[in-house]
Structure 1
């Protein structure tokens, strides 16, 4: 395992949480292992591990891109990760307002719906 891959694994765990990463690894197969290696090294090791942009802001950028592109499963995953990155509900709202203007109201509308549901779930588990 390369140093970049190890760094990516640590960043992925710090951002998404051990439970998610462990579940992901348990359901992996020989077929998708090369893909997991790729995203762990490239996305998590090369991009998310850079210290130029703090995790909070990187998380907000990621949410905007995922919502703007309509990648709802990944949007939900990264919205839950805000518990670890420090992006607040207010930050998420601001991101989604930007999505409405720059990527379209229908995408933002759906993202707001998902965010309301997920943030409520997260609040319940914190209680």
Structure 2
């Protein structure tokens, strides 16, 4: 099980970035530690490591699902992760167009608003660097 956790942590850091993972690990308590271990092993160690999708493809599927389900905080996190997954803004736009048809225009409209805010913040951060 340790190998699965270690591999999950490696992929999690590669996709979300060390700063995010370090913050999440620092906030971890005895209460949510089992959940953090579960998502590290299952989502990151078992799912994100599967070879059938590239990181870019997996990123886009994740963004579409999160947008369609209205999981705004996780959506924002995965939009920021596009800088690490190879998903372009055009890719994201197209994924959100699918959300409009298959999950509803209001969900896609809200997700586009979030994407514009996140991408603008990323651009400002890069300009300051």
State the TM-score bracket (shorter-chain normalisation).
Answer: over 0.9
Q: CA deviation at 1:116?
A: 0.4
Structure 1 runs, 4 residues or longer, greater than 3 Å off: none
SS in structure 2 of the partner of residue 111 of structure 1: helix
| 1:19-61: CA deviation from partner (whole Å, max 9, x where unpaired) | 0000000011000000000000000000001121100010000
User: Matches of residues 93-112 of structure 1 in structure 2 within 5 Å?
Assistant: 93-112=93-112
Normalising by the residue count of structure 1, what TM-score does the alignment of the two structures yield?
Answer: 0.98
Unaligned runs of 5+ in 2: none
CA RMSD of aligned residues (A): 0.7
Between Structure 1 and Structure 2, how many residues are aligned?
127
The answer to whether residue 70 in structure 2 is matched with residue 70 in structure 1 is: yes
Unaligned runs of 5+ in 1: none
| 1:48-77: CA deviation from partner (whole Å, max 9, x where unpaired) | 011211000100000000000000010000
Structure 1: distance between partners of 2:72 and 2:26: 23
SS in structure 2 of the partner of residue 50 of structure 1: coil
SS in structure 1 of the partner of residue 122 of structure 2: helix
Match of 2:23 in 1: 23
Structure 1: distance between partners of 2:54 and 2:122: 22
Match of 2:43 in 1: 43
SS in structure 1 of the partner of residue 53 of structure 2: coil
